[in-house]
Structure 1
Amino acid sequence: MAEAHARSRDYAKTVEVLQGIRADAPQWLPNQRYARDIFSRVIERRRTLTPEMRDLANALGSPRDLERQPSLSAENWSTTR
């Protein structure tokens, strides 16, 4: 579902689906490359990230993708994943 929402550019729904997956399987989600790829496409199209998106980014463990986000520099990246 997250992929379908991302393709239709409904990024709020994409994040909502990924957050739901995280709530149901918090240990599983960070190991899913496909989820990181979907989320990376969402954040590439945003100028800034919401607090919820930052939280999800921390859960997914995708600092490489977030380096392009001006509001999330390497100094701000959480090391507790």
Structure 2
Amino acid sequence: MIVTVDHFNPTPKFEQIAAIVRDQIRRGELRPLMPIPSENQMVEMHGVARDTARAAARLLAKEGWVFTIQGRGTFVARREDWPSE
């Protein structure tokens, strides 16, 4: 299922993208240690600026859903590292 940003929604686009990725992780579409879409892929999929895609990835990392390896990409964190809800 492809879900994309609602450009008419007042919620910031980076928060919408982060919510989409969180849902994909929870549903198991993105599993631990799998890469999440790259910034370029997010730009293409959601029609947003690169800075917006970067902000979404930073938010997910800050929350503990993903981690980044410089030069390699951003990956889903291990389940035990996910934030409690």
Normalized against structure 1, the TM-score is what?
A: 0.39
Q: Which structure has greater strand proportion?
A: 2
What is the TM-score normalised by the length of structure 2?
0.38
